[in-house]
Structure 1
């Protein structure tokens, strides 16, 4: 059989996939103005000793979302978090265990991104969990295509903050506008918006309720506590809008 005939036959062979889930877990440290990502050091080949995103192969009878939550529960304890499916990375030869000259197992990754607050996310101290937080600007070389997955997740996070209320799923139920501004600033950078414009825009949208409670922090003036009102936000949910 000629090479051209071989290629023609090979294109009809169905791929045999193993499905993995990789989590891009971001934490927001507003006290030190740091955006962090959780990395796990691999204990086996391929890429033994490299840092990578916490991941797993999907188990029998387990949904993708269940696998994503399982990884979260094995790595951190946290009360408030946001989790969303990110993208499927399935290019051929993305995993060294695949052979370009055979028709063995292909490995695809369905990625998720999660958002938590650093101060309430507790790493689970188990010997098998070699995990740590890395500042987003200081991430080392990662295993597989995890750097690409991380960058995709980082861009999705920044975009979501601009048009959706994901911050309120991570913040405490009651917060000041300064707390909210610092949360956005940590992720988007110091020059993302003037505080006065940020404050006025969000209050005009009408889904932040002033609870009539004042708190004093440091030497500044007392600040009002607010709560996100999902009922007031519901009519705006499907409308094009920009938070900031």
Structure 2
């Protein structure tokens, strides 16, 4: 009978123990060294188990009564002093066995990481070494094997950064208030690679969009012709804010 068959299936199902979770945040903090055209990520060396002595992303467990965003900002404030930054939630990583501490508990405590993506101005950033064995900016192509699943989190953050550059004005978060078009182009090539676009097409595309304000001021760098300084105009950009705009 249908009713008995259903009851038998339910009764034979194994008992499932609900997972007990601890929640942390891990911040992928990027910056661009525009002088040397390097994309950098901030790493800290762990000073306690698990993974003591390994480089990792700056992170913390969320405190009681603390929001995820507040925890992410707390990590930033404990590791770096900077006036201007961009921060957004990235992704939640919660696969089994992503943290060695899960195996040391008899009740199977799971460790979730709600990762965040941050972008800061390199010349303004002051690193704070309190409470860590080491802290450093690492060029993306020199990042070592990181603790936990932080290489995976970093790769996810790098993809987000590339997408952000193509579809949002996030680049202006790390440029000075006044910049040349070549400054902007160099930032894009540093993150996206030299072959993403030639300078002529990049310049034409950006100027047509109309949210770069010509200041009328020119600056001389090297032997070339003086270059015009521009300013990002947030009001002129407002009509594009919720549109699938492609900058490049």
Q: TM-score, normalised by structure 1?
A: 0.92
Q: Which moved more, 1:100-109 or 1:75-84?
A: 100-109
Structure 1 counterpart of 2:7: none
2:144 equivalent among 140, 147, 155 = 140
Structure 2 counterpart of 1:201: 205
CA deviation after TM superposition for structure 1 residue 108, in Å: 0.1
2:188 aligned with 1:187:
no
2:116 aligned with 1:116:
no
CA–CA separation in structure 2 for the residues paired with 1:34 and 1:234: 30
Structure 2 counterpart of 1:233: 237
2:134 aligned with 1:130:
yes
2:10 aligned with 1:30:
no
2:46/2:133 contact within 8 Å kept: no
1:58/1:64 contact within 8 Å kept: yes
Change (3 A) 1:129 1:100: closer
Change (3 A) 1:138 1:195: same
Structure 1 counterpart of 2:23: 19
- Structure number with greater Rg is 2
CA–CA separation in structure 2 for the residues paired with 1:6 and 1:147: 41
CA deviation after TM superposition for structure 1 residue 6, in Å: 8.9
CA deviation after TM superposition for structure 1 residue 203, in Å: 0.5
Instruction: Map 1:54-93; keep pairs closer than 5 Å.
Output: 54-93=58-97
**DSSP-derived class of the 2:97 partner:** coil
2:80/2:125 contact within 8 Å kept: yes
1:84-143 residue CA offsets vs partner (Å, 9 max, x unmatched): 110000112211111399433210000011112322222124363521111111111111
CA deviation after TM superposition for structure 1 residue 214, in Å: 1.5
Aligned pairs, number:
239
CA deviation after TM superposition for structure 1 residue 7, in Å: 6.7
CA–CA separation in structure 2 for the residues paired with 1:101 and 1:120: 42
CA deviation after TM superposition for structure 1 residue 157, in Å: 0.5
2:107 aligned with 1:103:
yes
CA–CA separation in structure 2 for the residues paired with 1:199 and 1:16: 53
1:93/1:100 contact within 8 Å kept: no
Change (3 A) 1:64 1:127: closer
**DSSP-derived class of the 2:100 partner:** coil
After TM superposition, the runs of 4+ consecutive aligned structure 1 residues lying more than 4 A away are none
Structure 2: tracts of 5 or more residues without a match: 1-10
Structure 1: tracts of 5 or more residues without a match: none
2:14 equivalent among 5, 8, 12 = 8
1:18/1:108 contact within 8 Å kept: yes
1:80/1:171 contact within 8 Å kept: no
CA–CA separation in structure 2 for the residues paired with 1:55 and 1:101: 21
**DSSP-derived class of the 2:206 partner:** helix
